[in-house]
Amino acid sequence: MPIIRLQPKQRQTLTLLQGSPYRHIGIYGGRGSSKSSCIDRCATSLLIDQPGIVCCIVMRTYEQLRKYHIDPLLRTFPDLEPHYHRTDKKLVLPMGEGVFSQMDLGYAENYDAVEQFFRSANYKFIFIDQAEQFLENELREMRKACRWPSGGAKLIYSFNMGGAGIQTLRKWFHTHEVGERENPNLYTSLKFNPWDNVEWVRPALEAEGLSENDYYYRFTDDERMEFSAVHGEYTQELASEDDALRNRDWLGSWDSLEGAYYGRVFDRQSMLLDRQQVQQLIQPWDVRWLSQDWGKSHYCVTEWHAVTQVSPERARKILGWSVEKPFRAIVTYRELVVNELSSPDVAVAIASATPESERKQLKRFFLSPDAFGDRDSDNTTADNLGAGLRRAGMPEPEPADTERAGGWMLLYDLMRETKRHAETGGDCWLIGAECPVLLESIPLLMRDPKDLDVVLKTDKGAARLEQDSAESARYGLKSFLAPKTKPPLDVQAAEVYNGISDPHNRALAMRQFYAKNSRQPRGNWRGSGTL
């Protein structure tokens, strides 16, 4: 059997699992604080210490499960490899005399999958990792399977500070609001900090002749925090974020939830469509379009959208909504996330992801304006994307509407109407199950403390996937549904000029701009960038 070493917070968690009276244990806090590792180590320890038990680790998607649990478990404890059943995703440990301990590793992308996975199951311990991605009804469904005959069954909720279900977890573990017939004394929580994880600073400790024991037992908590903020490559980045992100990802503060831009209106259950619902909702004659937030050194996110008219009868049949008025539904039904691909390759990837029968239905392609000046070949990014898509019979890109405040508020209004199930007859926004990144990104968006009307945006060097995904959605919906009136040509020219730093690329872009607008340059656009 493997030798399992535990960090102090992980050992505290195991103690809560082994002998405390608590049934619901929340482990929460900043990113990178060893919560997933804690689950692996505690679950394995329990399998060994309590022969014959069955436990479960569950996440939202298989990719998460593989990345955060299956691969790390087998890499950290190679002795477990012979006992792992890859097809069934089970770890079955022989404990002697015909007794086996079992760990199931599962994932559930929606409520139906949760219900199917946990139906008739019987676990002593259920570990829910990134529990903030699950909704309250899904978490309560999991509870039904935590029912070990000899008692002592416990659920462990590991979560970061943001996500579709974070308000439910906040009620249970922070404000202690539980069900009317539930006992709040069965709930407890333990905060994990990024500086609680020695792995981020181990090289720096060794360079200074310090040991892990020095870090945990000689340093104070404040000293560990400072050392990690200065010497850990990953933790240094977390500690130096904008205040809103720093409070969430570094400090793991409950107060950071107040900064979630869409915290009051995002309702994952109302917005989510399964594949069958998408097919039923979008009609052959409905208009479809594309949007993209271009990126080569960071994420490049492309999204497919459609708009359809929904009658009260269709709303009841497809969505289960009871409405009196017809309404318009904007459906984001497909996404493509790539990284470090050239623009011609991205065009090929977009075409490959689009069924041939659908290509002619796509009428427009709204692209982030930087792509009309940036280049990774002799042509601009927009030129290369356009050439590749044109060959596939798809629309060439046009600059997206970049108005930030109006765009973010448009998404807010759409989500609010969706949460209300179109009770006023206004436009709603629905998102298909084939857009998991977008669904996970929306509740993570933070309000900019310096401008409460917009989402906090980090610089490109620290770009985050949730921001790129949301930017693509903002471009697509704002540009199609509520484009702002174009400013005077000179102002447009200034926007192009100011958006490109390389002098050569800037000059070419300006020539293209004036050629496209059938006008010769005037004024001094080579000066300060103003006209």
pLDDT digit string (tens) for the chain, length 531 residues: 788 999 999 999 999 999 899 999 999 999 999 999 999 999 999 999 999 999 999 999 999 999 999 999 999 999 999 999 999 999 999 999 899 999 999 999 889 999 999 998 999 999 999 999 999 999 999 999 999 988 899 999 999 998 889 999 999 999 999 988 999 999 999 999 999 999 999 999 999 999 999 999 999 999 999 999 999 999 999 999 888 889 999 999 998 888 899 988 999 999 999 999 999 999 999 999 999 999 877 799 999 999 999 999 999 999 999 999 999 999 999 999 998 899 999 999 999 999 999 999 999 999 999 899 877 667 899 999 999 999 999 999 999 999 999 999 999 999 999 999 999 999 999 999 999 999 999 999 998 888 888 998 765 444 578 999 999 999 999 999 988 655 556 666 776 776 676 777 778 778 777 776 654 443 443 333 322
C-alpha closest to that of 246 among 77, 237, 429 = 237
Specify which residues 473 forms β-bridges with. Answer: none
Alpha-carbon gap, residue 418 to 422, rounded angstroms: 6
Claim: this prediction has a pTM higher than 0.85? no
Q: Tell me the two tokens of residue 228.
A: 């990690």
pLDDT at 489: 65
Residues 161/256, Cβ–Cβ less than 8 Å: yes
Q: Please state, in angstroms and as integers, the Cα–Cα distance from residue 369 to each residue in 24, 288, 513, following that order.
A: 49, 21, 12
pLDDT at 57: 98
Residues 333/435, Cβ–Cβ less than 8 Å: yes
Alpha-carbon gap, residue 374 to 370, rounded angstroms: 6
Q: What is the DSSP letter of 378?
A: S
Q: Token match 């497919």: residue?
A: 304
Residues 10/34, Cβ–Cβ less than 8 Å: yes
pLDDT at 514: 76
Residues 127/140, Cβ–Cβ less than 8 Å: no
Q: Tell me, what amino acid is at 528?
A: S
Alpha-carbon gap, residue 346 to 338, rounded angstroms: 8
